[in-house]
Amino acid sequence: MPETAAPKYLSSSLNSLDIAVIGAGPHALTLAAHLLQKRKTWGNRLCFFDPSGGWLSQWQQQFAALEIPHLRSPAVHHPAPNPFTLRDFAQTHAQELYPPYDLPGTKLFIDFCDRLIQEHQLQDHLVKAQVERIVPLEKGFQLWLGDGSLVLARRVVVAHGGGRKFLPDWVQGISTPYPSDRLQHSSEVDLRTLHCRGEKILIVGSGLTSGHLAIGAAKRGAKVTIMARRVFYEKFFDADPGWLGPKYLKDFQQESCWLTRSQTVINARNGGSLTPAVFTHLRRLRAEGKIEFMENCEIKQAHWVSGAGDQGNNLGANLANSLDDNWQLGCSNGEKLAVDRLWLATGSTLKVQEQPLLAPLLVTNPLEVVNGLPVLTTHLRWGNCELYLMGGLAALQIGPTARNLSGARMASDRIVEALIKPRTFQPLIAA
Ligand SMILES: Cc1cc2nc3c(=O)[nH]c(=O)nc-3n(C[C@H](O)[C@H](O)[C@H](O)COP(=O)(O)OP(=O)(O)OC[C@H]3O[C@@H](n4cnc5c(N)ncnc54)[C@H](O)[C@@H]3O)c2cc1C
pLDDT at 322: 54
**pLDDT for residue 246 is more than 60:** yes
Give the distance (Å) from ligand 1 centre to CA of residue 74.
17
pLDDT at 15: 64
Give the distance (Å) from ligand 1 centre to CA of residue 241.
20
The secondary structure of 97-139 as a DSSP string is EETTTTEEBHHHHHHHHHHHHHHTTGGGGEEE--EEEEEE-SS
Q: What are the distances in angstroms from CA 40 to CA 44, 82, 119, 304, 350? A: 10, 15, 11, 58, 34
Q: Determine the residue of 160, 208, 269 to mutate for testing ligand 1's pocket, defined as the one with the most ligand atoms within 8 A of the Cβ atom.
A: 160
Residue closest via CA to ligand 1's atom 45 equals 23
Give the distance (Å) from ligand 1 centre to CA of residue 197.
31
320 confidence band (pLDDT: 50, 70, 90): very low
Give the distance (Å) from ligand 1 centre to CA of residue 59.
6
pLDDT at 321: 52
d(CA 226, CA 405): 28
pLDDT tens string 264-316: 999 998 888 999 999 999 999 999 999 999 999 999 999 999 875 444 443 44
Return the sign of the alpha-carbon dihedral for residues 19, 76, 413, 270.
negative
16 confidence band (pLDDT: 50, 70, 90): confident
| Contact in structure between 403 and 396 (CB atoms under 8 Å) | no
423 confidence band (pLDDT: 50, 70, 90): low
Mean pLDDT across 154-158: 97
**pLDDT for residue 146 is more than 50:** yes
9 confidence band (pLDDT: 50, 70, 90): very low
396 confidence band (pLDDT: 50, 70, 90): very high
Mean pLDDT across 238-244: 91
Cα Rg, the chain, nearest whole Å: 23
d(CA 343, CA 186): 6
d(CA 395, CA 401): 7
Neighbour-count burial for 151-184, b at 16+ CB within 10 Å, e otherwise: bbbbbbbbbbbbbeeeebeeeeeeeeebbebbbb
Give the distance (Å) from ligand 1 centre to CA of residue 129.
17
Q: Determine the residue of 70, 215, 405 to mutate for testing ligand 1's pocket, defined as the one with the most ligand atoms within 8 A of the Cβ atom.
A: 405
Q: Determine the residue of 22, 71, 389, 404 to mutate for testing ligand 1's pocket, defined as the one with the most ligand atoms within 8 A of the Cβ atom.
A: 404
pLDDT tens string 324-361: 799 999 999 999 999 999 999 999 999 999 999 999 99
Q: What is the largest CA-CA distance in the chain?
A: 72
Please, what are the domains in the chain?
8-163+350-420 (3.50.50.60), 165-235+273-344 (3.50.50.60)
| Contact in structure between 6 and 126 (CB atoms under 8 Å) | no
**pLDDT for residue 154 is more than 90:** yes
pLDDT tens string 63-102: 999 999 999 999 999 999 999 999 999 998 777 999 999 9
Mean pLDDT across 190-211: 97
| Contact in structure between 330 and 299 (CB atoms under 8 Å) | yes
pLDDT mean across residues, the chain: 91
Grouping H, G, I as helix, E, B as strand and the rest as coil, residue 184 is strand
d(CA 414, CA 112): 24
For the chain, the distance separating the N- and C-terminal CA atoms, rounded to the nearest angstrom, is 37
Give the distance (Å) from ligand 1 centre to CA of residue 401.
13
For residue 406, which amino acid is it? S
User: Kind and range of the H or E element at 284?
Assistant: helix 276-287
pLDDT at 11: 46
